[in-house]
């Protein structure tokens, strides 16, 4: 049974339909990349999966449970955590408070988890009292990742985790993702950095204009001439 199975999802904003029946699956523990041109509906797909958008058709199944149309605050409890493309930290909250918000639904003692997270992101530990708005783009991305990890998710959805970062930071974000995945967490990520993302991923999907365009193992997509021409810069 797949961990996440999105089937024929139809969704959009108001009258505008953006996704016209998109399907993807994520198996336990694997890294899956979604690539596609700007405006093809990658973020819309993620928002539909986490409940921020109510799909008008199709279904979302997580760990064997139908979660189509379930409210986002209830979906996170099931172990599906999400980092949005932009505005993915609480700017006026301190780093520490951002992590606490990540643990919001936990009723047990989450302090050990915070310690683990600080071990994973040592840069954040030394600035825990600092407001997130003061951080650099890379540090903010780390806070966003760290917040989403507070619940020990089974599946992590990352919408363009490396967008707008300096090359050094891009590398370290991918390094973190690899590390997270090595602990058994499945990762579904949207990436503009298609080459890096596909190299890291077991499988990849190419989305175009709200439809599935291509799919396959990361390596074979990398060597696909059409993918190369469109997304890997020749």
Ligand X SMILES: Nc1ncnc2c1ncn2[C@@H]1O[C@H](COP(=O)(O)OP(=O)(O)OP(=O)(O)O)[C@@H](O)[C@H]1O
Q: Which is nearer to Mg ion, 43 or 88 (CB)?
A: 43
Among 5, 11, 89, 135, binds another protein (CB under 8 A): 89
The whole-angstrom separation of Cα 97 and Cα 94 is: 5
The whole-angstrom separation of Cα 89 and Cα 112 is: 22
Q: Which residues form the interface with ligand X (CB under 6 A)?
A: 13, 16, 18, 36, 38-44, 85
For residue 97, state whether it binds another protein (rule: CB under 8 A): yes
Output the CA angle 38-189-15, nearest 5 degrees: 45
The whole-angstrom separation of Cα 107 and Cα 103 is: 9
Task: Please give the helix or strand (H or E) that residue 83 lies within, else none.
Answer: strand 80-83
* Sites for another protein among residues 169-228 (CB under 8 A): none
The 10 Å Cβ neighbour count of residue 149 is: 24
For residue 137, state whether it binds another protein (rule: CB under 8 A): no
* Smallest distance, ligand X to C-beta of residue 9, A: 12
* Sites for another protein among residues 39-78 (CB under 8 A): 50-52, 71-73, 75-77
* Smallest distance, another protein to C-beta of residue 223, A: 35
């Amino acid at each position: 049974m797949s961990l996440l199975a999105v089937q024929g999802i139809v969704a959009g904003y108001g009258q505008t339909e953006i996704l016209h029946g998109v399907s993807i699956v994520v198996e336990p523990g694997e890294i899956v990349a979604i690539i596609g041109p700007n405006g093809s509906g990658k973020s819309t797909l993620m928002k539909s999966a986490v409940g921020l958008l109510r799909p008008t058709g199709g279904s979302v199944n997580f760990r064997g449970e139908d979660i189509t149309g379930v409210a986002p605050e209830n979906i996170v409890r099931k172990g599906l955590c999400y980092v949005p493309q932009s505005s993915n930290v609480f700017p006026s909250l301190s780093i520490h408070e951002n992590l606490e918000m990540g643990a919001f639904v936990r009723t047990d003692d989450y302090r050990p988890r915070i310690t683990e997270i600080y071990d994973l992101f040592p840069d954040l530990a030394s600035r825990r009292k600092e407001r997130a708005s003061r951080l650099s783009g890379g540090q903010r991305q780390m806070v966003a990742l760290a917040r989403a990890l507070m619940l020990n998710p089974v599946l992590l959805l990352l919408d363009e985790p490396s967008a707008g970062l300096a090359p050094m930071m891009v590398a370290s974000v991918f390094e973190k993702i690899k590390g997270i995945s090595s602990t058994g967490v499945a990762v579904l990520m949207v990436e503009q950095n298609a080459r890096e993302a596909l190299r890291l991923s077991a499988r990849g999907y190419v989305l175009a204009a709200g439809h599935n365009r291509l799919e396959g193992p990361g390596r074979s997509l990398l060597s696909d001439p059409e993918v190369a021409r469109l997304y890997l810069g020749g």
